[in-house]
Structure 1
Amino acid sequence: MSEPEEELREDAAEKKKREKRSWRRKKEKREQDEEEQVEQEEQHSEGVVLRGIFKLGKKSHDVLLTRTRLTWTPIIPETPTAGEACAVQPGVLLLQDVFAVKVKRRRGAGQQSGGAVLGVALFCCRRRGRKLEEDTLQLHNASAEHTHAWYNTLSELIAGFSSRPRYVKVFINPSSHKKEAVHIYREHVAPLFKMADVRTDITVTERKGHALSVMKECKLDEYDGVVCVGGDGFVAELCHALVLRAQLDANSPENPVKSSLPLGIIPAGSTDVVSCSVHGVRDPVTAALHIVLGHLQDVDMCSFSSHDQLLRFGFSAMFGFGGQSLARAEKKRWMPSSRRREYALVKTLARLRPEDCQLSFLPAKRSTSEQADHRDQSPDLEAEQTWVTKQGLYLSISIMSIPCLSPHVPRGLAPNTSLANGSAALIAVGNTSRSEFIKHLKRYNSSSGQFSFSFVEAHTVSAVRIRPWSLPAAWSEEESEEEEEEKGDPKTTPIIQSEGAAFPWNMDGELVEIPNEVLVRVHQRLITLYGEEVEEVESNASCSCI
């Protein structure tokens, strides 16, 4: 053997020794990391509950179960290949993201029960930004005893999440938007409820106010939550019903009372601003997963009253342009919803005119902790604060206690408002030209700038009072009058005033006509919704308002 060949063989042997030493060091480090992970879990009172071997895919894994998580690490043979020698990061699944556990079995065609045990399936959710998606983790093991021990333990741990509902009252509005609410519930929501063993009592509403009448009579103590499938108007009706029912049960007709039952919102409307504000996306699967996982979010609400008479509870109200455009849209219910909105928007812009009114508001306190101690401010407490009063012509006045996100306005109509800070956004748009007003509306499509006009005021408030000075116009004018205006001089068409006429308001997407002043009060954390607060929504949606 020549000297070069001997040197090559020695180099190969030395290289093999170095690879073995490297693999041994990596193995020792991996074992050390696993031991440290177990020690950390035990230090946090999360000691290993179960440990076993399962196959994930085609590879065997060492699976550890604690009270909060499941971790799995591939089992590497004594003499691993080059690819297996590298350090392996264990997989992790938090039990808070698991909503169902099932035993997997092999069954023949037509076989409804029994079958050989194959392992355990964990049904969970995975997050893609604000969107939640259904996912499944398959743990394969043919031992029936081993599988059932894991199934029973996992089921017990998952049942320990007390906020998860077991029995819910479901209201479906079949008339919402494109009349898809029943289909959305059956296709996207019902299968998840069945998988999570959530029992349901379903009411398909037949008329406006049907859900409110049912809520006043039904035995709410039987349920863990209420679910509504519909648009913003339907959501507001259910929220209003829950608070009224809480007042009735507490024998407190004067003061709002927080409902003991949370409300889940499955979006099935045209804008779904409440659902978007608490979920971040307009997606029925995301909404259903928030419900089955028991994600709870306290949310502020407003009370709307006139002359000491409660009108309703809700989240937003628009006076002026918002109310006028909705009033025109309601007259064209025979049109498709998108066309109806476009028609009302263009028509209201064409006949744009301000309302003469007195605007008064209470600036919100800076300290949220102080607000929490005075969740429902009494009239005496309000009297001690200083009302700011202004008189003038306003094209639009909006009050919103939530951000009011939607696919059309991805940053929200009130982007600086959170869900539970005890305040609302007051946005008052003074009299200006039509072109400047349109520029203001278009700015809602961008990240900022909609409030940077001299005629726009934005305030953070705890109460608002709007007192119109001009007489209300009758918003039920005939089509012939609109056609006459389109043909000729609009100055020749008078504003028709009649007995019983009222100003149109847009309250949570519902038309409410009120002839007198309106008082709006913010009530902190008045209702609990299934969802999570949206801190920042990343969206490429474009605004189709203009």
Structure 2
Amino acid sequence: MQIWETTCLPIFESAGVKVRRTVTKAAGHARREVETMSLEDISLVDGFVVVGGDGLFGEVLNGILSVRAEGGPRAAAAARLRLGHIPAGSTDALAWTINGTRKPAAAALHVVLGDRTPIDCMRIDVPGHPPSFSCCIASAGFMGEVLHMSEKMRWAGPSRYDIAGAYAFVKHKTYSATVQYLPADEETGRRGDGEGCSASPSLRHCGSGCQICRQAVGATAGELVVSEVSPPWTRRSGELLEAEPRKVKTVEGKFKGLMCVVSPCRSDKSVHGILPHAHLADGCMWLIMVRQCNHLQYLRFLVALSTSGIAPGQLSFVEVVRCRAARIEPLGNDCRWNVDGESLPNRPVSCQVHRGLVEVFSRGVEHRCS
């Protein structure tokens, strides 16, 4: 709460922005607060600002989408709301990703200025569990193992991830899995390439004013307009794979790790992002498959994640595939899942990206075009 009281609240008060604060008391509290709001309460606010980590942001995100899935007046009111993330957690990947910084004051300024940009969300379906949505990453194998071990070391603070990561690296476990994915069409998310993007034509970096991402909700007189609720995101992720079986690719084998990434996914462990060329709202996700490899090779992969991010063809034992949906079935009982810092059970997981599903208080990362 110190970040809010000393850094962010004065910014809101100076800008004349009215807020109503709710302090969460347990896991799931934030989601319940959102889901139980009346139509009148929803209509009185412009959005929700989360002061916390990625897990708390995920609760609010899933709460809003739960309301939108109901249909009716409450859903229509919830569809216009924006989300903000003031970083106050251990990783804060979402704030890093949409703002390019982990500074709470910068995130607060984006809110009071009324900035808005659409972001893709990935629907994740696990048998026997309600669907969940993610704005960053779902990973199995090494990353899931790190999360599982770090949860037992919360006393160590943020350094618990380094300790758990070192231990998982030494263990050097591999995981058998079957992966199915639907490759993205060449044109998916590519229209509108130009202003706001940088780097090579094939792998442009997403930035403020990115024309690819602006198309997620359309543009009128240079301003984004709120899109209508799209029915596909309310359906099970696996349906897309079943609907286009001839296009589905299947990969089997042993892996060090598997990741479904729906944004650049920046953090203090990967400042440029796991995938620096990924967009915030192009309707695509990236499947990263790290094949069985030796310690030195995996160290090269981890160093690349930390220093520059990963690109297709960068490492011979790492496949990076642009896709629309994927299904990962771990073969064994020891593979763990990590979804934006939250654990999922060891079961087959289906993921599908939905373009520009929500809007956030942000203008995207501002960097110089080249």
Q: Shorter-normalised TM-score: what interval?
A: 0.7 to 0.9
Which residue matches 2:202? none
Q: In structure 1, which of residues 502, 506, 526 is the aligned counterpart of residue 357 of structure 2?
A: 526
User: 1:510 matched to which residue of 2?
Assistant: 342
Query: Contact 2:241 / 2:248 at 8 angstroms: preserved in 1?
Result: no
Does structure 2 retain, via aligned residues, the 8 Å contact 1:304–1:310? no
Q: Distance in 2 between matches of 1:437 and 1:217?
A: 46
Query: Which structure is higher in strand share?
Result: 1
**Inter-partner Cα distance in structure 1 for 2:127 and 2:73:** 22
- SS of the residue corresponding to residue 223 of structure 1 reads coil
1:303 aligned residue:
123
Q: Comparing both chains, which one has the higher relative contact order based on Cα–Cα distances under 8 Å and sequence gaps of 6 or more?
A: 2
Q: Is the 8 A contact 2:180 2:248 kept in 1?
A: yes
Query: In 2, Cα distance between the equivalents of 1:537 and 1:322?
Result: 32
Q: CA deviation at 1:279?
A: 0.7
TM-score (norm 2): 0.80
Structure (1 or 2) with the larger CA radius of gyration: 1
Residue by residue over 1:268-317, the C-alpha shift from the partner in whole angstroms, topping out at 9 and shown as x without a partner, is 11221110111111111111111111100100001111237533111211
Q: CA deviation at 1:454?
A: 1.4
Q: Take 1:426 and 1:252, find their aligned partners in 2: how far apart are those partners? A: 35
Q: Is the 8 A contact 1:395 1:429 kept in 2?
A: yes
Deviation at 1:250, TM superposition (A): 3.9
Relative to structure 1, the CA distance from residue 267 to residue 308 in structure 2 (aligned partners, 3 Å threshold; closer, same or farther) is same
Identify if the C-alpha distance between structure 1 residues 200 and 449 changes in structure 2 by more than 3 Å, giving closer, same or farther.
closer
Maintained 8 Å contact 1:375/1:524: no
CA contact (8 A) 2:275 2:310 kept: no
Going from structure 1 to structure 2, the CA distance change for 1:536 and 1:375 (only over 3 Å counts) comes to farther
Asked if the contact 2:97/2:264 (under 8 Å) is kept, the reply is: yes
Mapped to 1, the partners of 2:7 and 2:92 lie a distance apart of: 17
Q: Distance in 2 between matches of 1:184 and 1:357?
A: 42
Q: How many equivalent pairs are there?
A: 322
SS at match of 2:96: helix
The one-letter code sitting in structure 2 at the alignment partner of 1:319 is A
Corresponding residue of 2:111: 291
Which secondary structure does the structure 1 equivalent of 2:167 belong to? Answer: helix
| SS of aligned partner of 1:199 | coil
Cα distance in 2, alignment partners of residues 228 and 534 from structure 1: 19
Residue among 325, 336, 343 paired with 2:146: 325
- Could you tell me how far apart the structure 2 residues matched to 1:266 and 1:537 are? 24
Partner Cα distance (2:156, 2:287) in 1: 32
Report the equivalent of 1:196: 15
Retained in 2: the 8 A contact 1:259–1:528? no
Aligned to 1:464: 326
Q: Which residue of 1 aligns with 2:51?
A: 229
Aligned residue runs from structure 1 range 26-41, under 5 A? none
What displacement does 1:408 show? 2.3
The 3 A distance-change label for structure 1 pair 375 and 536 is farther
Cα distance change, pair 250–364 in 1 and its aligned pair in 2 (3 A): farther
Letter in 2 for 1:294: G
The whole-number CA distance in structure 2 between the counterparts of 1:455 and 1:260 is 43
Within 2, Cα distance between the matches of 1:448 and 1:509?
19
Equivalences for residues 96-495 of structure 1 within 5 A: 182-219=1-38, 220-250=42-72, 259-307=79-127, 309-315=129-135, 316-338=137-159, 340-368=160-188, 376=232, 379=239, 383-384=243-244, 386-447=247-308, 452-470=314-332, 472-473=333-334
Q: 1:249 Cα shift? A: 4.1
Alignment gaps of 5+ in structure 1: 1-181, 474-502, 539-546
What is the CA–CA distance in structure 1 between the aligned matches of 2:365 and 2:134, rounded to whole Å? 19
Contact 1:228–1:235, Cα closer than 8 Å, also in 2: yes
Would the alpha carbon gap of residues 537 and 273 (structure 1) be closer, same or farther in structure 2, given more than 3 Å must change? farther
- CA deviation digits over 1:311-337, x for unaligned, max 9? 311121110000011101111222232
Given that 2:272 and 2:308 are in contact with CA atoms closer than 8 Å, whether structure 1 keeps it comes out as yes
Contact kept in structure 2, 1:375 and 1:422, CA below 8 Å: no
Structure 2 stretches lacking a partner, 5+ long: 192-214, 218-229
Q: Name the counterpart of 1:157.
A: none
- TM-superposed deviation, 1:251: 9.3
Q: Structure 1 residue 382: deviation in Å? A: 5.7
In 2, the alpha carbon distance for the partners of 1:426 and 1:523 equals: 15
Whole-angstrom distance in 1 between the partners of 2:240 and 2:54 = 33
Shift of 1:445: 3.4
Is this contact kept in 2: 1:258–1:526, CA < 8 A? no
- The aligned residue for residue 196 of structure 2 is none
Counterpart amino acid of 1:518?
V
Partner Cα distance (1:468, 1:381) in 2: 18
Letter in 1 for 2:182: L
